[in-house]
A = this chain, B = another copy of it.
Amino acid sequence: MRELERLPFEDLGFARLDHHRALRRGFPEVVFGLGKTPEQVATIVERLAMLQDRVLVTRTTQEALARVQERVPDAVYHDAARLIVVDRRRDAPKFPGVAVLCAGTADLPVAEEAAMTAELMDCAVERIYDVGVAGLHRLLSQLDKLRKARVLVVVAGMEGALPSVVSGLVAAPVIAVPTSIGYGTSFNGVTALLSMMNSCSPGVSVVNIDNGFGAGYLAATILRAGQPEG
């Protein structure tokens, strides 16, 4: 408790930066881009980049990047994944064990958001894309890779059946990510989410629709849960 009380943060007026987070949670504060003005994003990134060797902004825009790069020129935008990344580490070691799967080509942006987040958190990622259940042999041909993974992120829209099928084939935990791909009763991903929630195969948990970042982050913390220093 005493520790908690002394935690440092910095008040920018519209935001309080949590500089202690890397210590407390093992990864520096991530900037949630949604609902922030480009100017606010730029101010936050600039300040964080002074104190951290990595900065991650999620759900952001090209417009925000423009403002960020005026102040932090080495910031990079990953289009499909909607991420701004500053990464000043060199040759950071990557720990293997994360596999990211997606059911269809249209799920790729969310899968990339997950994969890139995990990579920024020191994971080596195996990508296995377009292996939806309508053509089962495409998935079954990857069985060896699936079984080698220590944690699997499985991204799917529409009926969201892939995580159940994958989980039935492996012993490792599966993080299911519903995507908003679909139409009509896909309800922007709600159907996929509900389907994943009701997986008949235990060992599956679910994050919010299109939340590739959250899945990648969680995969990294799971991988780390097994490291010597936790």
Contacts and interface: CB of A to CB of B under 8 A. Distances in A.
Interface of A: 1-5, 7, 9, 11, 13-16, 18, 20-21, 24-27, 29-30, 32, 34-36, 40, 59, 97, 103-108, 129-138, 140-141, 143, 150-151, 157-161, 164-165, 167-173, 175, 178, 180-211, 213-215, 217-218, 221-227, 230
A5 B1 contact: yes
Given A192-B198, A205-B205, A205-B215, 17 more contacts: A1-B141, A11-B130, A14-B129, A16-B138, A132-B200, A133-B200, A134-B167, A136-B136, A150-B226, A165-B165, A172-B225, A175-B205, A190-B194, A202-B214, A202-B218, A203-B217, A226-B230
A142 B129 CA distance: 28
Contacts of A214: 202-205
A140 B2 CA distance: 10
Nearest to A129: B14
A143 B4 CA distance: 9
Q: Which 3 A-B pairs have the closest CB atoms?
A: A226-B226, A35-B106, A184-B209
A138 to B, nearest CB: 5
A1 B143 contact: yes
A185 to B, nearest CB: 5
